[in-house]
Structure 1
Amino acid sequence: MNAVVERVRAARAAVGRISLAPLLVRGGIFVTVLAGFALAFPAEVLTGRPLLFLTVVALLPTVGPRRIWPTFAAVVMVGGWVLATDGYGRPVALWRLLALATLLYLGHTLCALAALLPYDAVVDPELITRWLLRAGAVVLGSAVLAVLLLQVAGLGGETGHQWVTVLGLLVAVGTAALLGWLLRRR
């Protein structure tokens, strides 16, 4: 019985030490993942029990950003997009695809930040601002590059060029090689 009382006291003390910045980052994870679900899934699915399930799935990476839950939420989000396009006949729109990719990346990067921040961390707001500005620059650069490559490729029509696909593959391999080199350099 004393062990239970001690655990309750420890939990109460831990909740009392929670600071605002890590709580806001985790709230951002929840909002980002839930917005991704709303964008990915068809409107017919977003009622009743499926909405409750998706809310719980959005809470999981918020509570456990170091575990498997961010990956699970991303897989559910992509599964919702596939369900909407294949199962419900929603056309593939560039804006929706870019917005979904943006929300996936923001959810991922916020989980990475939350994994670094203990609940009771005192954080300079500039750290979070720089993190979000860097994420915004990555999103903007990726969106511009994606739109440019899709325009060159003919947006998936019959006029596409195979060399654009090969160039995209070379850029991906080059990026992976650069990241590997940077990791070894440290």
Structure 2
Amino acid sequence: MIDAVTGRVRAAQNAFARISPAPLMVRAGIFVTVLAGFAVAFPAEVLSGRPLLFMAVAALLPAVGPRRVWPTFAALVTVGGWLLATDGYGRPVALWRLLALAALLYLGHTLCALAALLPYDAVLDPELITRWLLRAAAVLLGTAVLGVLLLQVAGLGGESGHQWVTVLGLLVAVGIAALLGWLLRRK
């Protein structure tokens, strides 16, 4: 029994010693991005004291376990904070805040996808991460431009805000995640 525990401790020490900086930087990027998403989504009244500690832990979870359920959990907490701020605290829906929140959600998601592919001891060419982030920036720019144009054409936006669109988008995202999980377990 003691030999098994000692062996596991040594294996953990060896794994910790082999960690390279690039995967750690990607995971630090996940933490910062998710925490920034919380700061944009939640009302300022909630961002102090104990809730801030819980948000920091919730932002750390996807950085530690990007292959698990934690990225989805963090995205749901972010959307919950957005709904709390707009519905519970009456914060008006501002286009800049909506675009920033969507960008942070996407960036957190794509960084989690990259981190899920990288073992902790991966040695990477910095160009790989640069290309990954440039591709994400191109997607974000195209989405923001198209979103603003569609809002202008449809005549939506301004101070009216459409909560039902947020809730519908959340339900679609959860439904797709559940469907994908069911399909993966079916194998």
Structure showing greater relative contact order (alpha-carbon pairs closer than 8 Å, 6 or more residues apart): 2
2:38 corresponds to 1:37: yes
Match of 1:183 in 2: none
Unaligned runs of 5+ residues in structure 2 are: 159-187
Match of 1:173 in 2: none
1:8 corresponds to which letter in structure 2? V
1:58 corresponds to which letter in structure 2? A
> 1:8 Cα shift?
1.1
Partners of 1:39 and 1:147 lie apart in 2 by: 19
Match of 2:67 in 1: 66
1:61 corresponds to which letter in structure 2? P
Change (3 A) 1:71 1:64: same
2:53 corresponds to 1:52: yes
Partners of 2:154 and 2:94 lie apart in 1 by: 16
Match of 1:96 in 2: 97
What is the DSSP-based 3-state SS (H/G/I as helix, E as strand, rest coil) of the residue aligned with 1:4? helix
Q: Deviations over 1:94-134 (max 9, x none)?
A: 00000000000000000000000000001111110100000
Match of 1:6 in 2: 7
> 1:4 Cα shift?
1.3
What is the DSSP-based 3-state SS (H/G/I as helix, E as strand, rest coil) of the residue aligned with 1:38? helix
> 1:155 Cα shift?
2.7
Partners of 1:131 and 1:15 lie apart in 2 by: 26
Match of 2:167 in 1: none
Residues 120-135 of structure 1 aligned to structure 2 (within 5 Å): 120-135=121-136
> 1:73 Cα shift?
0.2
Please tell me whether the aligned partners of residues 30 and 63 of structure 2 are also in contact (alpha carbons under 8 angstroms): yes
Number of aligned pairs? 157
2:79 corresponds to 1:78: yes
2:32 corresponds to 1:28: no
Partners of 1:68 and 1:113 lie apart in 2 by: 15
Partners of 1:109 and 1:118 lie apart in 2 by: 16
* TM-score of the superposed pair, with normalisation by structure 1: 0.83
1:91 corresponds to which letter in structure 2? P
> 1:49 Cα shift?
1.2
2:130 corresponds to which letter in structure 1? T
Partners of 1:154 and 1:139 lie apart in 2 by: 22
Match of 1:111 in 2: 112
Q: Percent identity?
A: 83
What is the DSSP-based 3-state SS (H/G/I as helix, E as strand, rest coil) of the residue aligned with 1:66? coil
The alignment's C-alpha RMSD in Å is: 0.9
Moved more, 138-147 or 46-55: 46-55
The 4+ residue runs of structure 1 with deviation greater than 6 A are: none
2:24 corresponds to which letter in structure 1? L
> 1:156 Cα shift?
3.8
What is the DSSP-based 3-state SS (H/G/I as helix, E as strand, rest coil) of the residue aligned with 1:80? helix
> 1:153 Cα shift?
1.4
* TM-score of the superposed pair, with normalisation by structure 2: 0.82
Partners of 2:63 and 2:16 lie apart in 1 by: 15
